[in-house]
Amino acid sequence: MNLVVARPEGLYCPPGDFYIDPWRPVERAVITHAHSDHARRGHRHYLAHTDSAGTLRARLGADIDLQTLPYGEAIVHHGVRLSLHPAGHVLGSAQVRLEHGGHVWVASGDYKLQDDGTCAPFEAVRCDTFITESTFGLPIYRWPAQQVLFADIDGWWRANAQAGRASVLFCYAFGKAQRILHGVDAGIGPIVVHGAVEPLNAVYRAAGVRLPPTRRVTDEGVDAALLRTALVLAPPSAQGTPWMRRFGAYADAFASGWMQLRGTRRRRGVDRGFVMSDHADWPGLLQAIGATGAERVFVTHGSVAVLVRWLTEQGLQAQGFQTEYGEEDEADAPPSQPAAAAAPADPA
Amino acid sequence: MKDFAALYRALDATTSSLAKQAALQQYLRQAAPADAAWAVYFLAGGKPRQLVPTRLLRQIAREAAGLPEWLFDESYEAVGDLAETISLLLPAPDEAHDLGLAPWVEQHLLPLRQVPAETLPAVLRAQWRQLAVDERLVYFKLITGSFRVGVSRLQVTQALATVAAVDPKRIAQRLMGYTHIAGRPAAADYGRLVAPESESERDQQTSGQPYPFFLAHPLNLPVAEFEAALGPPQRWLVEWKWDGIRAQLVRRGGQAWVWSRGEELVTDRFPEVQEMAAALPEGTVLDGEIVVWRDERVQPFAELQKRIGRKTLGPKLLRELPVVLLAYDLLEEGGRDLRALPQAERRARLDALLAAARHPALIASPVLQGEHWAALATLREQARARGVEGMMLKAQDAQYGVGRTKDVGTWWKWKIDPLSVDAVLVYAQRGHGRRASLYSDYTFAVWDGPQGAAERRLVPFAKAYSGLTDAEMARVDAIIRKTTVESFGPVRSVTPTLVFELGFEGIARSTRHKSGIAVRFPRMLRWREDKPVAEADSLQTLAALLPRTDP
C-alpha cells in the first residue's frame, strides 16, 4: 500500500488523510519547513516542528491552527504513526516519517547533509520508501567543505574592509543569512543586515542559535565610515534597488548552490559567487538515499529524470513525483532573476 | 599555474575594464618572465595546435569521473562548456604542485600531442590529480582551445604598455607574430615585449606608428532638420559609408604597416595593400576602408570576413577575394603631419597623391554631390543597392581629431535603417558561457501565406541570439519553458506565442534555406508583446524586401 501519493493538491497520505507540504488549501497539512514554496497559506490545520512555529506564524498569520512536535516524538493519526526527524535544511526543517501496516515511508522535504551549526543536522531514517528532493541532482554539484567556504567569505570581506569598501553579500533571508552570520569571523568588522533578515535572526536567536551582533542600516552609529568595513547581508531582491546606494562603491557577492556554474555566476552580475546551499549536493543526495536503506525512491522537484534514471541503474525502484516546489521546472534552470519578493522562497 | 588561474578567475568575475586592467597589470608585475610570456600569448589570442582530440578527452574524462555517457551529457547540457564540465566532474585532487604556467605548458601540455592514445589516459589522470578545480578550468580551456576570458588583445597591449611604460602602439608592433600557432614564447621574448623603446624604434622616419583614428558620431535627425542643424550641404564633404575594415596605411622608411581601428596591426592580413604601398611616396599615411572589390564594386562584408577568418591566405583566396583600400583622408605627406589642415585641403592633396600613384588596389572614396539635403537623401536611398551602410558627412573645415571628439571638427555617420520584419519564435536553444542554461538562441519563422489564408504554416527563416536585455531574456526563457512542445537534445520547439521585430542588414534568395531566403546579421530589434502571432509577417513580406536585381 502506498503511504504517499501525488494529488493535484500535493503529496497525500491516504490512510492518514493528510497532506505533506500541499500547494493548494487542504484540511490537514504537515509542513516540513517554513520556506514559502513548502508552507503555503489557507490550510485548516498545520503540523510542523516546534522550531518552525515562530516563522510559520510570522509568515502565515499568528492565528493559524498549528500543532507542533519535537524531533523523534510520534503521534498517531488514523492509525498512521507520524514523527519528524532533522533534515538539516533550515531551522525547524524536518523529514516526515510515516509508519502504517508494517511499512515505513519517509518524505524528506528539502535537506542537506553538512552540519552548519544553525539547525539540527540531518539524520538518516531507515525506511522502505524514501521521497527525496533533487534540486541539485547532477554530479557537477559538489559543495566545498564548510571551513573552506567560510575561509573564502572571510578572505573576501577582509580584503574589502582593508580597501575601505562595504562587502554586500546577497543571500536568502531565512536560513542562508543565519548560516553566514553563524559561520563568519565577526572580528573582521561590523555586520549590517537588511530589514528582511533581522526578524529571522530573532527567531534563530530565540531558538538558541549563536549569532554575532547585527545592526540595521537605520540604527544609530551606522554611517559611511562604519559601512566601509562592514559585511552587509541582503536578500537578492535588494540587488539593483535604491537601498543599495548608501553603500557607495561596494563589492558584492551572491551565496547560492547555483554559483557553482560560471554562467550563473556571471549572469548574476556580482563580483563573487560563493557556492553555498541548504540543499544536498549530488554526493549528498546519493549518500542520504543509500543511508535510508530504502528499496523504493520517489524523486521530487529538481533533476527528477536524471536522479530516477541513475537510481534505476543502481538497481533501485525509482520514479518521479510531480510537485510544485521550487520556482523552476528543471534543476538545471537556476533562477535567472533575483526573486521578486523579499519573502524567502526557493532558497538554493 | 595557480597565479594564472587566479588571474583568469579575476578577469572572468568582472565586466569592468578598469578592474580587468588592474588584474592584468598586477599579474604581469608579479609573474616570472617565463610565465608572463605564456600568459600574454594566451590572453592575446594565441592557441597552440590541438593537444588532445576532443572526443578522446571527453571519453577519458568521463571514465575518470566514473559516469555513464548519458549523465556526462546531461551535465554538459547544464553547464554549457566542456572545459568547465570536466573540471567540475573529475574527482578532487589528491596531490599538489607548485609549478608555474610555463613549466605546465612546456612540460605537461605541449608534449600531450606526442603521447600515444593508449597511454594518454594514464598521463592525463596523473596531471589531473595535481590540479585544483580553479586550475583545472584554465587547464581544460587551454587543452580544448577555448581559452577566452573577455580580454581583448588591445587590453593586453594596454596592460603591457603600462607595466613597461612604453607607448601602446609600440607594444602592438612588438606583439606582431607573437601569438603564432607554433609560438613557444620564452622569458627573453617577454623581455623584448616590455623593454624600453630603442633608438631605432623611436625614429619617426622609419617608425610604423599610426595616428589615433578620428571617429564619427551617429546622426539621427529627420532630413527636414538637417539644414537648421548642419547648414547647407556645401559645408560638408559627403561620402558613402563603407562596410569594410577601417584602416590606416603607414608608408615610411621603405616599409609599410596596416593598422585597423583597434590600433591592431593587420599588415599580414592584407598583402595586396602592403604591396600597393610601394607605389606611394615615403612618409605617407592614408586613412580609409579596406573592402573586397570585384566587378568594379564593393562586395558584402561577409566576403571580407571569409578572409579575416583564415589563418593562411592562399593564392586562390587572394584571387577570389581581392581587397582594395578606399582612401578618404591623408594624414601625413612627405613625412609631415597634415592633421591640423582643414578636411577640404587634405582631401585635395589626397586626390593629387592618388592620381600620381595610380594603383588598382588604391581607390579614392568618391565625393558625393547634392544641391540640397533632400537630394542627398534621395541619393542615400541607393545605399542598400550599392552595398554601403549610408553616408558620411565631414565638415569641410574639420581638422583630423583624436577618437570620438568634436573639438576640432565633426564627422557624422548617417546610416540607413536595417530591414525588418515581425517574426515568430518557434525553436529555442540554450546558450553558452554567460548564457548557459538559459534559452537564449532562437529560430524565427514567418507565415507561408498572407493573413486569412487557409492552412498557412510557419516557415523558419532565421536564427538570432542578440538584441534582448538580460531581463527580457529571462522572461522569454521562462515562457519558453512553459510553452515547450517537444525537446530534441538542447533544442525545444514551442507553441508559437512570441513575436519579435527582427532586423537584418541584407537579404537574398537562397536554395540552402527552407524558406528560400537568407538574411544577413539577423538580430532582435524589439519584443512585440503587443502583436498576436497571427499578425506576424509572411514570406511575401520578405520577398518584397529582396533587391530588385535579385530575380
Neighbours of A97 (CB within 10 A): 19
Query: What three-state secondary structure class fits B500?
Result: strand
CA angle B383, B367, B296 (to 5 degrees): 60
CB of A155 within 8 Å of a chain B CB? The answer is no
CA angle A161, A192, A209 (to 5 degrees): 115
CA B501 to chain centre: 24
Please give the radius of gyration of chain A, using alpha carbons only, rounded to the nearest integer: 20
> Which residues of chain A have a pLDDT value below 70?
326-348
Smallest CA-to-CA distance from A106 within A32, A51, A56 is with A32
pLDDT category of residue B15 using cuts at 50, 70 and 90:
confident
B133 contacts in A (CB within 8 Å)?
Answer: none
Which 295-314 residues of chain B touch chain A by CB within 8 A?
none
Neighbours of A7 (CB within 10 A): 13
The answer to whether the B2-143 and B419-545 domains have the same CATH topology is no
A303 contacts in B (CB within 8 Å)?
Answer: 74
Q: Which three cell numbers stand for residue B175?
A: 606583439
Is the same domain home to A152 and A248?
yes
Query: What three-state secondary structure class fits B422?
Result: strand
Q: Which DSSP helix (H) or strand (E) runs through A302?
A: strand A296-302
Domain B419-545 has CATH 2.40.50.140: yes
Give the range of the structural domain holding residue A212, as residue numbers without chain letter. Answer: 146-274
Q: How confident is the model at residue A346, as a pLDDT?
A: 42
Highest CATH level, class, for B2-143: mainly alpha
Is the same domain home to A89 and A167?
no
CB of A144 within 8 Å of a chain B CB? The answer is no
pLDDT category of residue B174 using cuts at 50, 70 and 90:
confident
- Does residue B257 contact residue B208 with C-beta atoms inside 8 Å? yes
Cβ within 8 Å, pair B436-A313: no
Q: Is the dihedral of CA A278, A281, A283, A288 positive or negative?
A: positive
Q: How far is A293 from chain B (nearest CA, A)?
A: 23
Q: How confident is the model at residue A241, as a pLDDT?
A: 86
Q: How far is B94 from chain A (nearest CA, A)?
A: 15
Q: What is the mean pLDDT of residues B316-324?
A: 93
What are the residue ranges spanned by the domains of chain B?
2-143, 217-415, 419-545
Per the prediction, chain B carries an average pLDDT of 90
Q: How far is B457 from chain A (nearest CA, A)?
A: 30
Q: Does residue B445 have a pLDDT over 60?
A: yes
Q: How confident is the model at residue B223, as a pLDDT?
A: 92
CA neighbours within 13 Å on the CB side: how many for B466? Answer: 5
Percent share of chain B, pLDDT over 70:
97
The phi and psi torsions of B414 (rounded to 5 degrees) equal: -115, 85
CB of A265 within 8 Å of a chain B CB? The answer is yes
Cβ within 8 Å, pair B434-A329: no
What's the CATH code of the domain at A69? 3.60.15.10
CB of B489 within 8 Å of a chain A CB? The answer is no
Q: What is the ipTM of this complex?
A: 0.90
Is the same domain home to A208 and A265?
yes
A328 contacts in B (CB within 8 Å)?
Answer: 481
B217-415: CATH topology is: D-amino Acid Aminotransferase; Chain A, domain 1 (3.30.470)
Q: For B431, which DSSP code?
A: B
- Residues A260, A274: Cα–Cα separation, whole Å: 8
The reply to whether the predicted model has a pTM over 0.95 is no
A163 contacts in B (CB within 8 Å)?
Answer: none
Cβ within 8 Å, pair B81-A262: yes
B492 contacts in A (CB within 8 Å)?
Answer: none
Q: How confident is the model at residue B263, as a pLDDT?
A: 67
A266 contacts in B (CB within 8 Å)?
Answer: 12-13, 433-434
What's the CATH code of the domain at A199? 3.40.50
B77 contacts in A (CB within 8 Å)?
Answer: 332
- Residues B391, B413: Cα–Cα separation, whole Å: 6
Cβ within 8 Å, pair A260-B88: yes
Has residue A336 been placed in a domain? Answer: no
Q: How many domains does chain A have?
A: 2
CB of A266 within 8 Å of a chain B CB? The answer is yes
DSSP notation for A91-145: TT-EEEEEEETTEEEEE--S---S--SSSPPP-----SEEEEEETT-STT--PPP
- Residues A127, B42: Cα–Cα separation, whole Å: 55
Least-confidence region, from A58-72, B171-185, B481-495: B171-185
Whole-Å CA distances, A118 to A173, A186, A204, A210, B380: 14, 16, 8, 8, 70
Q: Among A309, A313, A332, whose Cβ lies nearest the Cβ of B437? A: A332
